[in-house]
Amino acid sequence: MADEEHIRHCMLYEFQLGRKASEAAKNICSALGQDAVSTRKCQCWFEKFHEGNFSLDDKSGRGSVYNFDQEALQALLVQNPQITQQELATTLNCSQKTISNQLRALGKVQKFGKWVPHELTDNNHNQRVTICSSLLSRQNRLLFLEQIVTGDEKWVLYVNLKRRFQCLDKNEAPCQNLTCMRKK
């Protein structure tokens, strides 16, 4: 198949001969191959030629190649894996959908940075014992435990960290330390 610039030259030649866009499309397709150019594409270029614009350069926008700087995206993700897609779009001056497509192309997925462990560590166990003992001592003073309504046996964590998504590789584990969770 002929390259796009050659096809544009052919369309300009057909326009200068005074042919209609549909005739030009048929002539170009018969010379260069059945799917070389569509009638609609010829019509768009002929409209441009009628306006007096004979430049054969394709304008950026729909249908043209968009150059995206993936290195800048990767650098921002390394600097802060918890940055949102909207913040990335604002920083890189593009749409959120473009960021989403580029992250998918890089193999990045969204994962939560914190999860509730199934087994308690020694630190979790000590923290819960401390909380229980402080609640019991408070009960002796204020009858605090009579005011609590419980529905099941699940623990209630007093440290309620805000969980944010991180853009990571599929097999990469999310960041677990608090300094990583709090940095912007």
- The average pLDDT across 175-183 equals 56
Our measurement of the distance from residue 41's CA atom to the centroid of its chain's CA atoms, rounded to an integer in Å, reads 31
Determine the Cα–Cα distance for residues 98 and 111; give it in Å rounded to an integer. 20
* Residues 97 and 10 placed together within one structural domain of the fold: no
For 115-160, write each residue's pLDDT tens digit.
666 777 898 889 989 999 988 887 777 665 566 655 555 655 445 5
Q: Is position 170 within any domain?
A: yes
- CATH number at 74 reads 1.10.10
Model pLDDT, residue 5: 86
9-50 pLDDT tens trace: 999 999 999 999 999 999 999 998 888 899 999 999 999 999
Kindly state whether residue 20 falls inside one of the protein's structural domains: yes
Judge if 14 and 102 occupy the same domain: no
Number of H helices, E strands in the chain: 8, 2
Domain ranges, residue 33? 4-50
- Is position 26 within any domain? yes
Number of domains in the chain: 2
What CATH number did the domain enclosing 25 receive?
1.10.10.1450
Look at residue 135 in the predicted model and tell me its pLDDT. 81
pTM above threshold 0.85:
no
Supply the pLDDT for residue 26.
94
Is residue 167 a part of any domain in this protein?
yes
Q: Is residue 27 part of a domain?
A: yes
pLDDT at 34: 86
